A and B are shown apart, each in its own frame.
Chain A
Amino acid sequence: MIILCFSSKFKNAGLIIIVSAIIIGIYFPSRHARHYSCVKNENVLDSLYYEQKMAHHNLKNCNYEDVVFMPGNDISIEDVSDEKIYLKPLPGGEYLPTQCSPLLKSAIIVPYRDRPKQLKTFLNYMHHFLQKQKLHYRIFIVDQKNENLFNRAKLLNIGAKLAMKYGFPCLVLHDIDLIPLNYANIYACSNTPRHMSSSLDTFRYNLPYLTIFGGAVAILSEQFKTINGMSNLFEGWGGEDDDLYKRLIEHGLIPCRFCPSISKYTMLLHKKNRKTSESRFNLLKKSTQRSKFDGLNTLNDNFTIEVESLFTHIIVS
């Protein structure tokens, strides 16, 4: 009798264990989009990296408080493709604020292949957006002109190398189809690398996983040099951003994010061309072993530079 009773209890316990295992499996946090810790809006300006000012300017330094704290900073998605008003930048898409002397200097590096319509929208929007933020910036479009699979990371490495040569202390690695929707999302580097596109509309304005580090990121040139840039081996869609994240962690650089209210982005509609790379999981496994021998230092120089009116065109063949 006791054994019977015990066995039925045991059976119940087994059932309870199975049910709770299923429930934990279904509601496991990593199966869902995540909440994340972020830099508070009032601390945004303190978190930024400012350039040591050269004294030969007579202008007073730019004030960025009104950029971040201006009311009505949100931009609605309908306005994205409108014709924007902006000052004509210098050849190569470089711009220096005229009314004040900028403390923030960024290179916007955009990997690109054959999307002229999106490029037009992007340039039109970004010049307006960045000028409103009173930044010293230059837009680099890194164009892959060969038949190989799209190698986003390699293009970013090439763009970064050139931008560093031109003396930019801050690199913004940016996808062509992303459009920021808040003027307070300032396009300059924080003291730690920053994941900028954390509230993207195609992800329901949620963050898919905590270690995501793709889309639009800002990283100091020094830091990018320390981690030896990105891997050159990721061909096709996916993996290279996770590899970058691993490199950062390896060097003790913990990325930060701005809060969802100011890190909103929209993705320009396009037909998905996600030829995923088969080797990306194997590459990711050996990520840390490779970082010294695969990156900025193993880049070949088969590219040409064309100076256009709105951007610097780097053609990689």
Chain B
Amino acid sequence: MSDNDAEPLCCCEYYDKDKNQSHILACCCFCEDLDEGFESLITCNGFPRYRCLRFMATFQDRLRIPWRGGAKLVAVDSILPLIILPIIFIIAAQSLWWTIFSFSTITVFLLYIFQVLIRITPRTKFFFVWTITSIVLLYIIFEFVVIPLLEILLEENIALSILIASFLFCLYTLKMRASRFHKSTDDSEMFSLPGTRFHNCSICQTTVPDKDHHCVWYDCCISRQNQCLFMMSLLFAAAALLYSSNLTLTSVCHPFKLYETILLPDDCSEVYQEFELGISFVSAIYSIILAVIILIILMQQVLLVSIGLTKKEWNKLPFSSKCFLGLTNRKYHSKGFFRNWSRILCWTEPKYVSINHT
């Protein structure tokens, strides 16, 4: 490609898979495989499989967004959440039964697509984009549907925004630390540090010291270097979700005073009469479901750190010892409750001794 670099690309131009300069607007212009394929379909010869595959490859190649320095390729699986989530929200806002139906469908769909994507394209951004889309969608609904109901005070809105900003900061720092300490497997260097176990992550293809697990929703590995940030981000996310759902539900439903300034909803029977109320209600329910899942994960993390197990080791435990919270098992890498926590909370940067592996 370097020999083509004579002229800089405009934001809508790109080099396609055959290394020819192309333009976004030409995306529907000419596709040999589709033309030929249809010709053979019309002449009753069926759509040849190789044509189909090549058409898919061309389709994938032409799916681009304008970007500085040339249009960027976007994977189909990573734009799926951008389409699915808003549609699901709109459908769910119609009635209670649609809400139940769409949320159970989405659960089944996610479980299914997890199996498929991890097998086909392990490095998929689908789940990370899902996370980001959820945050953006919930925030947009809150700021532009719930706030205009004029029932939420400015300081309540600011408090929520601070929670969200803290979560995003944790997430960003977590990913930064992950990319700093988790080295690519194809680096010729090998590292060692006494007391550190190195794992190769098959999903993000990095060498991870003291790996806990790979989090598809954050699209990175969680290790001892960012586990603290991981738990903080979970805490902030759960707090933001619960707070926003409380604000939303007390706005769209009939609230009652629990104590002083704490309100809880008590009658939500009228939310589906208007679309704005319906979609706010649905976003609140989605937030609550997410918050519950996040809190469960957070509690599991707290437990695992306390007893000095990694997520991977936990998953391998037999069911019987899971029932005893893993306390009955021998834990080879546990150093006692306080040491376990202190090595997570430690912010010092580990110094790995590099071994030239030739």
Contact = CB atoms under 8 A, between A and B. Distances in A.
Interface of A: 26-27, 29, 31-35, 77, 201-206, 208-209, 267, 269, 271-272
Chain B residues touching A, range: 20 to 34
B197 to A, nearest CB: 43
A264 to B, nearest CB: 9
Contact of A31 (B147, B158, B257): B147
A33 B150 contact: yes
Contact of B158 (A27, A204, A272): A27
B151 A208 contact: yes
Contacts of B153: 32-35, 206
Contacts of A272: 270, 273
Residue from the set A31, A32, A269 with the largest chain B CB neighbour count within 10 Å: A32
B267 interface: yes
Given A32-B152, A33-B150, 6 more contacts: A202-B255, A204-B250, A204-B255, A204-B263, A269-B254, A272-B273
B157 A32 contact: yes
B256 interface: yes
A227 B284 CA distance: 45
A26 B255 contact: no
A292 to B, nearest CB: 32
Nearest to A78: B256
Contacts, number: 53
A31 B148 contact: yes
Contacts of B255: 201-202, 204-205
A209 B150 contact: yes
Nearest to B154: A32
Contacts of A35: 153
Contact of A201 (B143, B157, B256): B256
24 contacts: A29-B154, A31-B147, A31-B148, A32-B147, A32-B150, A32-B152, A33-B152, A34-B153, A77-B256, A201-B254, A201-B255, A202-B254, A203-B151, A204-B152, A204-B251, A204-B255, A204-B263, A205-B255, A205-B257, A206-B151, A206-B153, A208-B149, A208-B150, A208-B151
A209 B148 CA distance: 11
A95 B157 CA distance: 47
Contacts of B157: 27, 32
A27 B254 contact: no
Interface string B121-160: 0000000000000000000000100011111111001100
B188 to A, nearest CB: 37
Nearest to A204: B151
Contacts of A271: 270, 273
